[in-house]
Each structure stands twice: as structure tokens, then as C-alpha cells.
Structure 1
Amino acid sequence: MALIAGAALALALSGCASSDKTAGSDGSSSPLSGKIVWADFGGPTNKARYTTYFDDFTKQTGVKVVSEVESDAVANTMLTGGKGAYDAIHVGLDTVYRYKANIAALDAGVARDTNLPANIRDYAFGTFYVGHVQAYLTATFPGGGPQTWADFFDVAKFPGKRGWMGSPGSYDSACEIAELASGIAPDKLYPLNFDVCTKKLNELRPNMVFYTSYPQIQQLLTSKTAAVVAGPSGQAFALKNQGIDVTISWNQAIVAPNVMTIPASAPDMKNIQALAKVFNEPQRQAAFAKATGYGPGNPDAFTSMDDATKAVIVNSPTHTQIVHQNSEERAKQTDDLLAWYTKWLAG
């Protein structure tokens, strides 16, 4: 797969050579050079980006990819029209909808991630899908554990504490989960009804154990502090990689797209547009999925995955009962959503 992907990278770059060269002062063209400043949240996901995308790109072009842990202050400044050092910023798709006016459109030579809605594909690349799921040690429920979000809230039928998101900025799909647990149909979730969400979350609050960073999800499960945890599927995937028998329920798993976006004021625009061409390659997206457990933005990537990888990918064609976040609708409620969850956490 690596050889195929490497060849695809060389072809992608050579096939768009005119856009990957800049005009020198004498009118001649010069190859790409310099760097790209890439802002994401570090950890295994960032490491996987190097092995899957960045390292080969640097070998082919000489352009160094410098990763920084994303600063909200810098990202917000650039997304609202100001200047900053970032060439690419890791965001939720709702952020792209909200700040599209200050985001650069992808060059024509950049293939689009067709799993994204058509009205936003020009402004996002490097898509990966996170599943907001419930997970538990298989041994905790030998007769079968919770499947739906209503089951998650049913501590009488499935006893034990529930690991839950305890940071205001990490509300993830908290309201969607509460609405689904309340019996609201997936196609009726938006606009989010904060009164319904508050009422449902209050029912479970006495049995909640809050985490404030995602790695704590693994600690809550392995220590048996929580019987079931709600959170990103990648955390349960990491436990599986450690040989721990964890069950992930894909029934009503909420699919949330994460993407990279290029601020209009990006300092190294030609370099980042060249790198963006690499990210749609199905073999590379499949390799990234295998390394991280996150789903691809290009549906063709599934043809390059083995069955074991597909089984832990939230937007795999085999998962037929998933629920997709509506990022465009969420974008309209971003401020209200954060204010609501901050207030609810405070009690």
C-alpha cells in the first residue's frame, strides 16, 4: 500500500506541476520550498499524519511540515479574518460553515472528499469521521451490554456509572445523545432543543463520572470507575489496540466530521494547496483509518481496507444504524450550544 500511495503522490504532484511552482523574480519558475505550519491537537492522530501524508510529501517537494498544537486564540483570529502563522487548521465542519468567508477555497487540482456535503467540499480537506459512541469492557455485561442511547441512560437495566464529557468546550454530541435517548427521531434532532437535553441529562447526572481529557476515557474503563463511557470512538479503538476486550456500540453512533481548512490569510498558500492534493488519495486515507480508527472522507478508501479495519470505522458501509451530525444546522447554534453546556456543567 505504501508503494502505491507513494507513486500516487508523485503523480499527483507532477500532474499539477504548474500550480506547484512559483514565479521567480526573473520570471522563471521555481519549485516549492520552505514550510507549512499545520495546527492540530497532536497525539497519535498527528503522528499518523506524518507517516501517512507528511513524510512522503516532504521527500517529494522539500517542503517541511511543522506541526503546532492548535491555539484557540490564533485559530479564531485567522478564521475571523485576521493574520496568523497557521496554514492549515483542524476544525469541526460546523466551524467551516460558520467562517467560510475567511477560508480559502481549494485549488481546482485538489480532489474533493465526496463524503462531505456538496456545499462545503471546496473549503475542507483531510476529512476524518469521529464516532461519538458508547463503549464498555465486554466482561462488564456478559449477557450483552447497552446498544442504544436509551440503554446508556438506563442504569437499572445496565448498572454502573457513566463516563461523560466534563469540559465545556468538549460537549461533542451531548445534546444529540440526550435527544436520541429521549426518543427523538434522528431526522428531528435539529434545531437542538436545549430544554429536552437538560431534562434528560439531569436524569443521569447522579450516575455520571466526568472526564476533562479524552485519555481519561481509557482510565475510567480500565479502572472500572465507569461501567460505560460516552466519547470518541478512537479512545475505545486505542484500548482494543492494547489487547483489551472492549465493546463499541455502533447503534446510533453519532458521526461527526473533522476536517482541515486553509485560512484565507495562510502565509504559505502554494505549499498548503499542494499538500492538500495528497489527502484525498484513497490508499492514504485507508492507511490513516487503520492507524487511527477514524473514518475516511473519500468513500473509495473502503476498497483499500481489510474487514478488521472496517469493523472499527464509524462510517463504514457495514454500520447501517449510525446518525450523522448536521454540521450546517449546528453552526447556527454554536454559541448557544457552548453557553448551554457550560451552564449545565456548572449545575
Structure 2
Amino acid sequence: MPGTSRKIIGCTVSAVLLTLTGCVGTTPTAADVDLGPGPARAGAVKKGALDGVTLTFASYGGIYQEGQETAAVKPFMAEAGAEVLSDGPTDYTKIKAQVDAKNVTWDVVDTDTLWAERQCGKLLMPLDTKIVDTSRLPEGMAGKCSVPAMSYGVVLMYDENKFGDNPPKGWADFLDTAKYPGKRAIPGIASDLSPGALEAALLADGVPPDQLFPLDVDRALKKLTSVRSSLVFWDTGARSQQLLESGEVSMAMVWSGRAYSAVKNGAHFAPQWNQFMPVSDSLTVPVGAKNPKASMALINYYLGAAQQTRLTELTSYSPVNSDAAPKLDELGSQYLTTTPERRAQALRIDNAWWAENQEQLIQKWSDWLAR
């Protein structure tokens, strides 16, 4: 999620305590759970359906997880009757250890979407669409084993003082240092690579948007090399925001949440939404979760319009339910990425291709950064 790199961190003390005290697990069993008749409806759960059930929800911590708990987890507890423990931060090594040991203590986990795609049917179980209503999600955002937890985007930000009369129209202009001189910032995390820099480079090199995949990685790196003297690399969301606020760069490829925060703090930058790249976290259920029906019920509740509305108001991340109507200030509303207008401007990213190739690409990207 924005503000942190996707480095996986170790177990917290709370996780150890939960394991030692035996506070995880579920009673009654999944077979005893009655979620009521009729088709699933996002945001709804049968009153008291999960009395006596204990679940553990794991996410990335901080304001984001606090928002998730306030908007969805705690109301779910009150409505369904379940006790939901919170843990984190998300740790893929720990998920694998739990699944391998057949002792899964995390029931619903907020994860990276590409990792979720890669682990579908391995460490993560397919979602039960009889319980999880995906009908109000943006097209293409639900996976077989995951649904979006929220949304944001990789967006082009430009200095209005320099380019306000002739703003860049997309990623080709972003890397056109003759037409738009000055430094531009891009993510440069050696241990991580996700949609963004490679797609921008290929678009700038003349590849049509609908012919990007499979990515020609060598061509993309060659294009980036040609403008490398103009590139500034950021390794955290905080650093990307600082680059905007300090005016150290003329343009930047940044997460939309960080862009919003920078402009709110006075940075004289504006977004170019054409070809922005949508991103989301994912909600998942590990293979071997003790009460998958209850886990699916929590995910289904989380996706409700009221819950997504509240989550956006608390965190500024965009809602993934099309009926959500968050009340934000004028500036905050401009940075929502899931409105019909914004979705029409999004670049189509092949997440399945990225999931299959990401691990190999990271090594190539790390080598290029180190040159």
C-alpha cells in the first residue's frame, strides 16, 4: 500500500501472543454456520449468524488498518456476533508457514494484488461467490482468490508553474526531456517492481497502449537508460511526496494518495490522469482457514457501500463499491480513482502477466538500478 515498500516484515509480538494463548481458531465449525437464505448482498450479514465464532483479520497496520477496523471489522462484529482479532503487519512468509503447517491462524488477510494472483490455489483459496457478492466491484478488479480492499493509482504529477500552459498529456511526454526539461521521479526500489516505470517507458517509445503486454522489458530499460540522467529514484511513498513538496523534480510518477497529500500540503503540482495505472490491495483467505464461510462473510460485509464509503472518508483510498458515496473535500474528490470518469482514463494492466513474471523481473530491475 502507499507509504511503504512491499518489503515483508516479521511477526509482531501480538501475533506471537495470539499463538501462545490459543486465542485463534473458530467455534462452532464451518458446517454449523447459517448465513441465511437468498443470494449474497455486499455489506450484509445475517444478525447473529456467527455467534461464538472467532476470526483474525491481518493487514498492514497504521491509519489504514485502523480505518478498515472502524469502517468494516467492528460493525461486522456487532452485526454478525463474531469476535474478530486484529493482527499484522501482513507477512507472506508467515502465511506460507501457517499453510504448510496446516495451522492457519489468519482468516482474512490484506495482501498485494499481484502476490494474491500468484498464490491463488496455492496459499490462497478461491472465494465462494455464493457468499461474496462482487456485482458492485469495478470491472476486472475481482480475482478468483481475491477482491480489492480499496483502490488508488500510479499517476503522473507535473509542476504547474513550469508546464501549466502546456501540460504533459501522458507517459510519452513524461519521458520527453527535450519538450519537458527537468528532473522526473520514478519508483526505484531494488527489491520491488510493479506496474509503472516499464509501461511508461514503452509508451514513450511508441508502443500502443493495447499492445503493451507481454512487456518488452529490454526495450523498456533501454528507453529508461536513455533518460537516466534526468531520473530521480524514490524508495518510499514518503520520499516521493517530499520530492513534490520540495520542488526537486518537474514531474513524478507517484501513488495517488501521496500526490493528494503533497498538493494538500501546498505542492504546486497537478495530476495528469490520462493513462494512470490503477492499483489495489486485495482481501484473501489462506488455504486451510478454519472457518472459510465466516471468512467469506467478513469479506462480503467489508465490500458494502456503507463500509467502503466510511473507509474512504477515514483513509482517502478510493472505494471499490460502485454505490459508495464518500463525502470528501473538493481536492480529495479529485483524487478518487474508481469513478466512471477515472476508470475511463486508466491504462489496462495485465495483472496475470505481472503475477507470473514479477519475481524474475525484480532481479533484472535490481541489476539495472545498480549500474
Q: Do structure 1's residue 128 and structure 2's residue 143 form an aligned pair?
A: no
The 1:83–1:213 alpha-carbon spacing in structure 2 relative to 1, beyond 3 Å, is farther
Q: Quick check: 1:114–1:121 contact (8 Å CA) kept in 2?
A: no
The 1:279–1:189 alpha-carbon spacing in structure 2 relative to 1, beyond 3 Å, is same
Cα distance in 2, alignment partners of residues 156 and 296 from structure 1: 38
Question: Which of 328, 337, 344 is 1:314 aligned to?
Answer: 337
Superposed CA RMSD:
3.0
Cα distance in 1, alignment partners of residues 259 and 207 from structure 2: 26
Cα distance in 2, alignment partners of residues 189 and 198 from structure 1: 14
SS of 1:278's equivalent in the other structure is helix
The worse-fitting range, judged by mean Cα deviation, of 287-296 and 153-162 is 287-296
Structure 1 residue 334: deviation in Å? 2.0
The 1:34–1:315 alpha-carbon spacing in structure 2 relative to 1, beyond 3 Å, is closer
Cα distance in 2, alignment partners of residues 190 and 83 from structure 1: 39
Question: Which of 18, 40, 45 is 1:13 aligned to?
Answer: 45
**TM-score between the two structures when normalised by the length of structure 1:** 0.81
Counterpart position of 1:259:
282
**TM-score between the two structures when normalised by the length of structure 2:** 0.77
Q: Quick check: 1:310–1:316 contact (8 Å CA) kept in 2?
A: no
Report how many residues are paired: 325
What is the letter of the counterpart of residue 107 of structure 2? D
1:68-217 pair list within 5 angstroms:
68-77=88-97, 83-102=103-122, 103-107=124-128, 108-112=130-134, 114-117=137-140, 121-173=143-195, 174-217=197-240
The 1:178–1:105 alpha-carbon spacing in structure 2 relative to 1, beyond 3 Å, is same
Q: Quick check: 2:113–2:280 contact (8 Å CA) kept in 1?
A: yes
Counterpart position of 1:55:
74
1:285-337 Cα deviation digits (max 9, x unpaired): 23333444433333333x56679455312232113332021111222212222
The 1:240–1:284 alpha-carbon spacing in structure 2 relative to 1, beyond 3 Å, is farther
Structure 1 residue 80: deviation in Å? 7.5
Counterpart position of 1:300:
323
1:54-93 Cα deviation digits (max 9, x unpaired): 2322344352341311224224545788655432333333
The 1:205–1:266 alpha-carbon spacing in structure 2 relative to 1, beyond 3 Å, is farther
The 1:71–1:10 alpha-carbon spacing in structure 2 relative to 1, beyond 3 Å, is closer
SS of 2:278's equivalent in the other structure is strand
Q: Quick check: 1:128–1:296 contact (8 Å CA) kept in 2?
A: yes
The 1:36–1:292 alpha-carbon spacing in structure 2 relative to 1, beyond 3 Å, is same
Structure 1 residue 160: deviation in Å? 2.0
1:78-134 Cα deviation digits (max 9, x unpaired): 57886554323333333333221132233422212532538x544213432221111
The 1:35–1:76 alpha-carbon spacing in structure 2 relative to 1, beyond 3 Å, is closer
